[in-house]
Amino acid sequence: MTGSDTEPRQTAAEVQAEIDREQRQLAETLSELGEQARPANIARRQLTKAKDRGTRIFDEARALVLGGGAVRVESHLVEPEEGSIVLKGDDKVVTTYQSRGQLPPEAMILAAGVGTVIAVGVVAWAVRRRRK
């Protein structure tokens, strides 16, 4: 064995610097996880998801009723370039549309039937509630 095989690979200062780096990274990660786990942030994310789903369902229904040829599939904000200044309301939204074919008549009849059943149910519920 030569003398270089028994020498440490890192000096004490290098090891300490690496430990400090890892501790900072761990602290940042824990801070990010804590921020993500805040109930207000969780609620905000869930509300955004619900709004997106509701908007998509609304767009689908409107396209079905109006006979539109395209349906919105997804919308998302585009992150600004690093170093740019973004003013409120200047967010860029990218929306993806998908062309859809004509629905078969059976689907239209089914949709009309479901709509009728829901309307009758709501009217019956309102009448029953008024009588009490």
Share of the chain above pLDDT 90, in %: 22
108 domain-assigned: yes
Residues 112 and 58 placed together within one structural domain of the fold: no
Q: How many domains does the chain have?
A: 2
Whether pLDDT at 2 is above 60: no
Q: Do 29 and 90 share a domain, yes or no?
A: yes
Look at residue 39 and tell me if it is in a domain. Answer: yes
Q: Is the pLDDT of residue 84 over 90?
A: no
Q: Let me know whether 119 and 59 are in one domain.
A: no
Note the pLDDT tens digit of each residue in 101-130.
666 677 788 889 999 999 999 999 999 888
Q: Rounded CA gap, 33 and 38, in Å? A: 9
**In a shared domain, residues 90 and 113:** no
Cα distance between residue 64 and residue 70, in whole Å:
10
- Together in a domain, 91 and 27: yes
Q: Which of 19-23, 87-91, 100-104 has the lowest mean pLDDT?
A: 87-91
* 27 & 47 share domain: yes
pLDDT of residue 56: 74
Domain extent for 109: 102-132
Give domain status of residue 3, yes or no.
no
Three-state SS for 94? strand
76 vs 34: which has the higher pLDDT: 34
Residues 27 and 61 in one domain: yes
57-85 burial, b if ≥16 CB within 10 A, otherwise e? eebeeebeeeeeeeebeeeeeeeeeeeee
